[in-house]
Amino acid sequence: MNARAVTLGLVSAALLATSCASRQAMKREAVVIAASANALDNDLGRLDSALDTVHRLRRVRVEGDRLSAERAARVSEATIAAWALDHDPLARARVEVFHGVREASDAIGDHAYGAIDYKLNVEEPVPGYAIDRHSLRTLVTQLLRLARPSSFKDEAKFFIEYGVQVGTASAEGIDEVARMANEHKRPPPPPPEDLPPGDPSVGDPPPEAAGPSEPDAPQPEREPTP
């Protein structure tokens, strides 16, 4: 059993110990939010449906009004046409008076209210709320996936993968620690006697690294090797 295996096992055990209530609470929260989103989706559907119904009823009414007005207008036109075909003075007077009265009343109606503003330009669109229901349904699905209880197999897989990731990531560091430990354990080679103290080849820092110093200044004593 090597160091990596021991680490992996202990880390996995520790991780199991920490897997507790906070995640369960998160899953419960996800279920609640998913239910809320689903309810919102249902209500949006009802609102859309209600608005469509109102819109459809208004369109039906408009169409009815338009057809009724057109029918009445055709009847009137037919009567006027019949008068126009008749050449007696009464018919001519009827056609003339009809057109004259209509034009006069139209002209008066068009200019009757010019001076008074009743704030008629009020149909500017007010921002409403068009929710993309497809996104809402995707959201519900995602939340439910998040809230799904983990099986023993899933949990085991997660912890093994997590442990492997930790082990892999820490392996290099542990190897480095082991190398350092071995290096410190190896006794240093004895310094050659003909070399003066402070020779860079035996491990003293170069003058640049050690900072500025006087050339004739006495060198510090070397630390004892552990």
Q: Which is nearer to another protein, 13 or 195 (CB)?
A: 13
Classified as helix, coil or strand, 151 is coil
Candidates 88-96, 192-200, 201-209, 214-222: pick the segment binding another protein (CB under 8 A).
88-96
Residue 186 is given by DSSP the state S
Q: Please select the residue that binds another protein; options are 45, 49, 59, 197, rule is CB under 8 A.
A: 59
Please tell me whether residue 177 binds another protein under the rule CB under 8 A.
Answer: yes
Report whether 164 contacts 76 (CB < 8 A).
no
Please tell me whether residue 23 binds another protein under the rule CB under 8 A.
Answer: yes
Please tell me whether residue 28 binds another protein under the rule CB under 8 A.
Answer: no
For the chain, first and last CA: distance in Å? Answer: 29
Q: Please select the residue that binds another protein; options are 60, 84, 86, 106, rule is CB under 8 A.
A: 106
Q: Please select the residue that binds another protein; options are 128, 187, 206, 215, rule is CB under 8 A.
A: 128
Q: Please select the residue that binds another protein; options are 60, 84, 101, 156, rule is CB under 8 A.
A: 101
Q: Which is nearer to another protein, 101 or 210 (CB)?
A: 101
CB of 153 to another protein, least distance (A): 14
State the number of CA atoms in the 13 A half-sphere of 6 facing the CB: 4
Ramachandran assignment for 2, one of left (phi > 0), alpha (psi -120 to 50 degrees), beta (any other): beta
Report whether 160 contacts 12 (CB < 8 A).
yes
Candidates 16-24, 189-197, 207-215, 216-224: pick the segment binding another protein (CB under 8 A).
16-24
Candidates 1-9, 194-202, 203-211, 217-225: pick the segment binding another protein (CB under 8 A).
1-9
Taking the C-alpha atoms of residue 32 and residue 29, their distance in angstroms, rounded to an integer, is 5
Query: Got the DSSP string for 64-108?
Result: HHHHHHHHHHHHHHHHHHHHHH--SHHHHHHHHHHHHHHHHHHHH
Q: Which amino acid is at 110?
A: D
CB of 179 to another protein, least distance (A): 8
CB of 64 to another protein, least distance (A): 9
Residue list 180-219, contact with another protein (CB under 8 A) = 180-182, 184-185
